[in-house]
Amino acid sequence: MTAHCPEDPSLERHFKGHRDAVTSVDFSLNTKQLASGSMDSCLMVWHMKPQSRAYRFAGHKDAVTCVNFSPSGHLLASGSRDKTVRIWVPNVKGESTVFRAHTATVRSVHFCSDGQSFVTASDDKTVKVWSTHRQKFLFSLSQHINWVRCAKFSPDGRLIVSASDDKTVKLWDKTSRECVHSYCEHGGFVTYVDFHPSGTCIAAAGMDNTVKVWDVRTHRLLQHYQLHSAAVNALSFHPSGNYLVTASSDSTLKILDLMEGRLLYTLHGHQGPATTVAFSRTGEYFASGGSDEQVMVWKSNFDVVDYGEVLRKQRPPATRASSSGTLPEVDPLVPPGRGRSQESMQSQSQEPVSMPQSLTSTLEHIVGQLDVLTQTVSILEQRLTLTEDKLKQCLENQQLIMQRTTP
């Protein structure tokens, strides 16, 4: 079998349009759109196709702290310092529906894998779960004793993980609404948390400059990385589960090989803190944002096993981690059913899927259309309410005029 030679990540594009620090980035399902939120109170939806104009969505009355595309890519959620969540249809009209229940800044928003619900985290110390299509608040998870910075669904939607300024990461059962376990190993505020694609592990980033990985079944600490020289603000798993990218206030992005438990690359692109980072759904790209107001898109290149052979081109060099550098002693992260060799990973990717691609595409299209129709009905209802209010006002004004003119 031909051996694959990974290449260094390369900076593909950078987008300028925000007028303040970028707080969050997320790719759509098909990687055709990239959303970003900013302290400038706006969302931008960038088109990966060259020469396409970006959409700027204004609606929030304060900083936008988080963005997340629905699994179908037909809806886009955002959270804000104005205490609200908005669900947008990411097209040129940029229409949105407002969700209210939090009493302080909304720090995080994340759709469940079925798109039917989403979870939010807030400075009001709660995690809240909402219905997407019924457009209503469902329930709160309320055991944190300080601001909650991040909350995510597990890939199967059964668990929720949250990270807080109370220095804990909490694992919740969505059905029972009970806290299953609290992870207390961080020495400072926990800024970000996410599930491994297998659903068996979680990774959390902290103000103590560390990244920690736990097994959610045994609750054992599997890996501990202390590679950044400042707070780690965000992280993202590669879809293969073999790599993790981190963004830090030391202005760098770092790519970790979880199979070997070592640092692969350090990327220098942002001037000032790197505040957010996210892989695309295929892992072919990852995007980052920073306090320099820029959004950068990088080509992964290093994990060619997961998306085919990469054409060898001359690219701007990345800083490769030195093998002689001091690295943490960690367990190799090998989720169930995943081998460590390239051959086993390749054969796994070639296994037949249980559902035909055409049927999957059709179902995704139907779900997407349902998303758009639900959103359109909501917007029409809002407009109808406004029209009714205006009609009532006009009738009241007319009655006043008639009363004044009557002798």
pLDDT at position 402 is: 63
CA distance linking residue 60 with residue 81, whole number of Å: 8
Q: What is the DSSP letter of 100?
A: E
Q: Render pLDDT for 42-89 as a digit per residue (tens, 0 to 9).
A: 999 999 988 889 999 999 999 999 999 999 999 999 999 999 999 999
Q: Per DSSP, what are the bridge partners of residue 24?
A: 37
Amino acid at 227: L
For the chain, the first-to-last Cα distance in angstroms comes to 100
According to the model, what pLDDT value does residue 223 have? 97
Q: Confidence class of residue 319 from pLDDT cuts 50, 70 and 90?
A: very low
How is 74-105 classified by DSSP, letter by letter?
A: S-EEEEETTSEEEEE--SSS--EEEEE--SS-
The mean pLDDT of the chain is 84
76-92 pLDDT, tens per residue? 999 999 999 999 999 98
Domain boundaries, the chain: 10-302, 361-406
**171 contacts 141 by C-beta, under 8 angstroms:** no
Superfamily of domain 10-302: YVTN repeat-like/Quinoprotein amine dehydrogenase (2.130.10.10)
**The model scores a pTM over 0.85:** no
pLDDT of residue 50: 84
Q: pLDDT, tens digit, for every residue of 135-190?
A: 999 999 999 999 999 999 999 999 999 999 999 999 999 999 999 999 999 999 99
Query: Coil, strand, or helix at residue 371?
Result: helix
| Range with lowest mean pLDDT among 52-61, 214-223, 383-392 | 383-392
Residue 372, Cβ density class (10 Å: 0-12 exposed, 13-18 middle, ≥19 buried): middle
